[in-house]
Structure 1
């Protein structure tokens, strides 16, 4: 007779979340690199998310600590990777992410960019595209750091434009520089450096090279297994479908990666089969009461496809946009209980969608809002992806 699968209930999952994602105060970290490693990667499509997500988990939050890792020590690198999304990844993990995910996406980005430029920009062919890329890299190397505008001054071909979606309400004119630099960054030839504005800006300066370009990368199957193991250590127990969604891999690649991790099957509260690492089957004590204000696209909020164990399905219309992007959320002991926003005058406001935790939760949320306001200061944060509750609160 086969032995029954171990059972890990929702409270055990929430205890793991509070500890391993560094959200309970006793588990916060002093360094941004440790935060990124704890959640595997920080979502970076919205420049502000990296700072807000890291600072929610830092013992002494502030943009200077995050900028140190991103731009001074360069111990975090932005990669176009999982789900064709921009993430900030620790330099040590970057070769694994590159081989498992990012390089395949970069190859597809190059094919699409080449077809787009050659099909839409008069006078362009593959030879001219290669020459412009070479001159762009030479100009960036000579400058050491440059904006797209700086590079276009040195390489005038970068100023050429293409009209996309002509005749449509969303018709736009796009410079070829934006697509070329995006592909070079995806391939690891250039890197997003310090932005022109403050820490909420996505108008990056460019610098030569990225961390993963100069480090040996494991073969793709080995890299996928390594990334799956890291993800399960941070997000397990979880299902194969959760991992497939998070990475964007095919189902076949996901199953092969999981098989190479020696993960074991466990049962969740709804009876579904999930996966956990062999050393993660014992009960995990709750880390004590904790509240958190997490930004839109926070890695914890976006960590699983199946979210009912930490998110009431009835709250989804308030907290997500139509594309499935989550907005700013309020957490209590491993569950989302509301949302928050910043008003034009800088005030941090929130609304609880649940009375879970009562006065204790409300008091802890208020303290976290004060902590957030204290380090954000005069900066105004508007999420890139606006959600119904965030819009309502910020109005």
Structure 2
């Protein structure tokens, strides 16, 4: 796997903190479905939660650039690079795949392994701070696997030296090229060993994904050369926790402390510290959830607001994946349809008025035309209502939308 940008977004909106002082094992889907779909245990109307989240995630009015989308969301899962491009495309009107590729190549957003042991797009100024919170725990959890793969301290040290030698001076390399260099240095990279070495070096802040190579791949670069450390990057753990909780609430809110623990992979104890450290940068939405004090739209829990819109979203989209408890927008039965194998592989979703109402897949392109097959949940909104959103999706990928069928 090759890894697959304009001044980075400012931290000024996160200034003025009131502070107090890595990956947890959990169900791979993160699904915890327990509540009523009209009014939840916290007393919030489901409609108000949906409307606020659509606004926070930029699915109502959208963002003006990929960089501003990532600045708001901070981190968004991106192990599938092509899918992650559409996560941004769905939120930035008029974009194409080339727009996202340019943002990546110009270093307006980074892609690495900052949380939950998987790839994410991340705001450049927050990658190192987040790794300072998550990496040690992730490394600890991976230690046995690395021992079993024969990746000891000596192998790691050699791999690190070789990577620096191959990449320094602004160079970039594919996974195959890095592995070839390691093999030449006497390191066994068969099986998953090469991947584990790359993952470890990225979690140490040495490597990150750099220039786009293909639709689904990037080349690897040295993080400090590709995106030099900024003087305003926070270093104090409590300050980082507070900033991260406030940023999560801003881009995903309303959210609970448990949602934050799921999203970051941090312990619930640290999640509580983060909420306290955020201070008055967050405000209560209801008995359990918080929103950012400067949220784009923060209706109260009981406000008479109705979520609207039809959205065609990618697999692993933050609207579904960004919460530990997905009750507010997807029933337990339907959530299992989104992750049918319970294996962490999420299907692309359809969202109507803030609710997940189906999944979809693209057919192979034929003669420049791409058809879509939709699976609605229990006769939910007609497929015709999603045609404008699918037309926008097709334009993003520079293809012509063909037939939309219901499977």
Same fold at TM > 0.5: yes
Deviations 1:359-389 (A, max 9, x none): 5xx433111112212322459xxxxxxxxxx
Q: Which residue of 1 aligns with 2:36?
A: none
Deviations 1:187-245 (A, max 9, x none): 2212212354x32x24x321222567623442222211111111112222222222211
Q: Which residue of 1 aligns with 2:79?
A: 45
Q: C-alpha separation between the residues in 1 aligned to 2:185 and 2:197?
A: 8
Q: Which residue of 2 aligns with 1:349?
A: 373
Q: Which residue of 2 aligns with 1:237?
A: 254
> Out of 55, 68, 71, which is 1:19 matched to?
55
Q: C-alpha separation between the residues in 2 aligned to 1:110 and 1:313?
A: 31
Q: SS where residue 81 of structure 1 aligns?
A: strand
Q: Which residue of 2 aligns with 1:60?
A: 94
1:364 paired to 2:385: yes
| Partners of 2:253 and 2:291 within 8 A in 1 | yes
State how many pairs are aligned. 350
Q: C-alpha separation between the residues in 1 aligned to 2:192 and 2:335?
A: 37
Greater helix share, structure number: 1
Q: C-alpha separation between the residues in 2 aligned to 1:175 and 1:6?
A: 44
> Out of 136, 151, 176, which is 1:104 matched to?
136
TM-superposed deviation, 1:330: 0.4
Distance 1:291 1:243, change over 3 A: same
Distance 1:116 1:220, change over 3 A: farther
Moved over 6 A (4+): none
Q: Which residue of 1 aligns with 2:194?
A: 177
Distance 1:8 1:64, change over 3 A: same
Q: C-alpha separation between the residues in 2 aligned to 1:328 and 1:351?
A: 10
TM-superposed deviation, 1:62: 0.8
Q: C-alpha separation between the residues in 1 aligned to 2:399 and 2:88?
A: 19
| Partners of 1:296 and 1:329 within 8 A in 2 | yes
Q: Which residue of 2 aligns with 1:387?
A: none
1:338 paired to 2:358: yes
Using the size of structure 2 for normalisation, the TM-score is 0.75
Q: Which residue of 1 aligns with 2:346?
A: 326
Q: Which residue of 2 aligns with 1:382?
A: none
| Partners of 1:225 and 1:258 within 8 A in 2 | yes
Q: Which residue of 2 aligns with 1:32?
A: 66
1:209 paired to 2:228: no
- Larger RCO of the pair (alpha carbons < 8 Å, separation 6+): 2
TM-superposed deviation, 1:66: 0.8
Q: SS where residue 260 of structure 1 aligns?
A: helix
Distance 1:154 1:338, change over 3 A: closer
Q: C-alpha separation between the residues in 1 aligned to 2:160 and 2:175?
A: 13
> Out of 81, 86, 93, which is 2:119 matched to?
86
Q: C-alpha separation between the residues in 1 aligned to 2:196 and 2:159?
A: 12
| Partners of 2:166 and 2:178 within 8 A in 1 | yes
Q: C-alpha separation between the residues in 2 aligned to 1:30 and 1:6?
A: 34
Q: C-alpha separation between the residues in 1 aligned to 2:308 and 2:102?
A: 31
> Out of 281, 300, 308, which is 2:327 matched to?
308
Distance 1:56 1:285, change over 3 A: farther
1:251 paired to 2:229: no
> Structure 1, unaligned stretches of length 5 or more?
120-124, 163-172, 380-391
> Structure 2, unaligned stretches of length 5 or more?
1-40, 401-405
| Partners of 1:44 and 1:50 within 8 A in 2 | yes
Bigger shift: residues 43-52 or 282-291: 282-291
Q: C-alpha separation between the residues in 1 aligned to 2:153 and 2:331?
A: 51
Deviations 1:222-272 (A, max 9, x none): 21111111111222222222221111111111111112223555546xxxx
Q: C-alpha separation between the residues in 1 aligned to 2:192 and 2:259?
A: 37
Q: SS where residue 348 of structure 1 aligns?
A: strand
TM-superposed deviation, 1:181: 2.1
| Partners of 1:225 and 1:257 within 8 A in 2 | yes
1:290 paired to 2:309: yes
Distance 1:212 1:241, change over 3 A: farther
Q: SS where residue 328 of structure 2 aligns?
A: coil
| Partners of 1:224 and 1:257 within 8 A in 2 | yes
| Partners of 2:73 and 2:250 within 8 A in 1 | no
Deviations 1:19-72 (A, max 9, x none): 221112xx122310111223232211111221110111111121111111212x
